[in-house]
Amino acid sequence: MSDVKGSAALRATLVFNLGTLGALAADRFAARVEELGLKPKHAGLLAALDAGSAASQQELAARLGVAPSLIVSLADQLQALGAVERLRDPDDRRRQVLTLTPEGRRLLSRCAEAAEAADAELAAGLDPDRRAALAEGLRALGARHVPH
C-alpha cells in the first residue's frame, strides 16, 4: 500500500470542495450580473457602499483588501451607469466619498436577486435543513476568515 494519498483524499477536503463549488458559483453569479452590465466586483463595491456610510475610495480599498486603482476603475464604471456618485468631503476638500444613488440601490437589489437565483440553482438538491446548515457553516467560516 502506498503512503501517497489519492484523489479520494483530495475530494474529501473542505478546501477542494469549496474551491470547486466556489468557482462554479462565481461563474453562475457572474453570468447573471453580466445581464445587468456588471461584474461581481461591481456588486461587491455596491454592497460595501450599502453596508456602511459614505467612504473614500482609499477607505474602500482598505476595507475590501484591494488596490485603490481597482476601486477607482470600478467607481468610474458605476458612476457612468449612474449607480454611484462622488462627492467632495466637506471636512476635507481633497477627499472624495462614494455614495450609492437610487440607481445603485436598484442595481444592488437586482444583484441580490441574481445571487438568490444562483443559490437556489446550486442548492436545489439539498433539503431545507441541510441548506440552512450549509449557509450557517459558511457564514461562520466567513466571519472567522474574511475581513469585513
Tens-place pLDDT, residues 51-74: 876 688 888 888 888 999 999 999
Taking alpha carbons only, the member of 110, 59, 57 closest to residue 84 is: 57
Which DSSP state fits 126? S
Which DSSP state fits 92? E
What is the tally of structural domains in the chain?
1
Which DSSP state fits 12? T
Is residue 52 in a domain? Answer: yes
User: How does the average pLDDT of the chain come out, rounded?
Assistant: 91
- The answer to whether the CB of 36 falls within 8 A of the CB of 103 is no
- The answer to whether the CB of 83 falls within 8 A of the CB of 101 is yes
Is residue 27 in a domain? Answer: no
Is residue 61 in a domain? Answer: yes
- What pLDDT, on a 0 to 100 scale, did the predictor assign at position 67? 93
CA-to-CA dists, residue 79 to 17, 103, 104, angstroms: 37, 10, 9
- What pLDDT, on a 0 to 100 scale, did the predictor assign at position 2? 56
DSSP bridge partners of 96: 88
* pLDDT tens by residue, 103-116: 999 999 999 999 99
Taking alpha carbons only, the member of 16, 61, 55 closest to residue 41 is: 61
Is residue 125 in a domain? Answer: yes
- What pLDDT, on a 0 to 100 scale, did the predictor assign at position 137? 94
Cell of 31: 453570468
- What pLDDT, on a 0 to 100 scale, did the predictor assign at position 148? 58
**Which residues in the chain land under pLDDT 50?**
none
Give the structural domain span for 60. 39-145
pTM across the whole model: 0.85
CATH number of the domain at 134, please. Answer: 1.10.10.10
H helices of the chain, in order, are: 7-11, 14-34, 40-51, 57-64, 68-80, 102-122, 128-145
Is residue 47 in a domain? Answer: yes
**Residue 73 to residue 57: CA distance in whole angstroms:** 10
